[in-house]
């Protein structure tokens, strides 16, 4: 049997955009309607605030645990010209915005019931990581996980993938990694992980079945 057809020993999930809702333009339109009157304005503001989450950017450093809430708010306000209160309101609205995605959660339960070992690997600032773990009991389905804020590393950089593999005790070539971000998928594949880009639960399940990975 070819190595890539051998059943996986684990599945690793990303959080935002996979297990939890993440639509930054919709978030901005709901929180800052006076600054995002249409989709184009919302897209532009999302790009300004989040900087595409490029490593080293303000939000990426918040994800990595290198900046506090106040430091992140003030940096974004200074860089973009937004009022600090508007940035604070946007940041504060993110936890409830990160609502569980029902189809993925149902799939997670199915995998857990089948005996598949489950882990997570997520870029997440500490306040949001603590909120999600406190509010959502289904996260107990995961054996373990890595949040960027806890290891001072960030996707799509390779080091956090090495950290995750070591912590989980898995072989990347026997592990399915699911993420919505194409840059994270590219890094994972370059390191030998069985990586599939998530669009929705049905697409991801079908693709994994076609590949013979799940």
pLDDT digits (tens, 9 = 90+) for 77-96: 999 999 999 999 999 999 99
Asked if the model's pLDDT at residue 199 lies above 70, the reply is yes
- Backbone φ, ψ for residue 197 (5° rounding): -80, 125
- Looking at every residue in the chain, the average pLDDT score rounds to 96
- For residue 50 the two structure tokens come to 């989040």
pLDDT digits (tens, 9 = 90+) for 123-179: 999 999 999 999 999 999 999 999 999 999 999 999 999 999 999 999 999 999 999
In the chain, the percentage of residues whose pLDDT exceeds 90 is 96
Asked if the model's pLDDT at residue 2 lies above 90, the reply is no
- For residue 194 the two structure tokens come to 């069985």
Which residues touch 103 (CB under 8 Å, ≥6 apart)? Answer: 200, 201, 202
Asked if the model's pLDDT at residue 4 lies above 90, the reply is no
pLDDT digits (tens, 9 = 90+) for 126-137: 999 999 999 999
Q: Per CATH, is 3-21+99-211 categorized as 3.40.50.1000?
A: yes
Give the pLDDT band (50/70/90) at residue 1: very low
Query: In the chain, where are the structural domains located?
Result: 3-21+99-211, 24-97
pLDDT number for residue 3: 59
pLDDT digits (tens, 9 = 90+) for 26-55: 999 999 999 999 999 999 999 999 999 999
Give the pLDDT band (50/70/90) at residue 6: confident
Q: What is the dihedral of CA 195, 199, 202, 205, to 10 degrees?
A: 0
């Amino acid at each position: 049997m070819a190595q890539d057809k051998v059943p996986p020993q684990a599945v690793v999930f990303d959080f935002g955009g996979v297990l939890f809702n993440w639509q930054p333009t919709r978030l901005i339109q709901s929180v800052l309607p006076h600054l995002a009157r249409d989709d184009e304005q919302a897209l532009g503001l999302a790009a300004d605030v989040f900087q595409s989450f490029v490593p080293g950017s303000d939000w990426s450093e918040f994800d990595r645990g290198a900046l506090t809430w106040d430091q992140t708010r003030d940096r974004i306000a200074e860089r973009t010209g937004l009022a600090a209160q508007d940035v604070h309101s946007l940041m504060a609205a993110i936890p409830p915005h990160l609502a569980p995605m029902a189809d993925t959660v149902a799939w997670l339960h199915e995998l857990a019931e089948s005996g598949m070992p489950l882990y997570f690997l997520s870029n997440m600032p500490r306040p949001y990581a603590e909120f999600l773990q406190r509010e959502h009991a289904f996260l107990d389905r995961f054996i373990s996980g890595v949040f960027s804020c806890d290891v001072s590393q960030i996707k799509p950089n390779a080091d956090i993938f090495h950290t995750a593999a070591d912590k989980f005790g898995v072989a990347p070539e026997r592990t399915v990694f699911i993420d919505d971000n194409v840059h994270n998928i590219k890094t994972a594949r370059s390191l030998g992980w069985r990586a599939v880009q998530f669009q929705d639960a049905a697409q991801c399940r079908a693709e994994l079945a076609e590949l013979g990975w799940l």
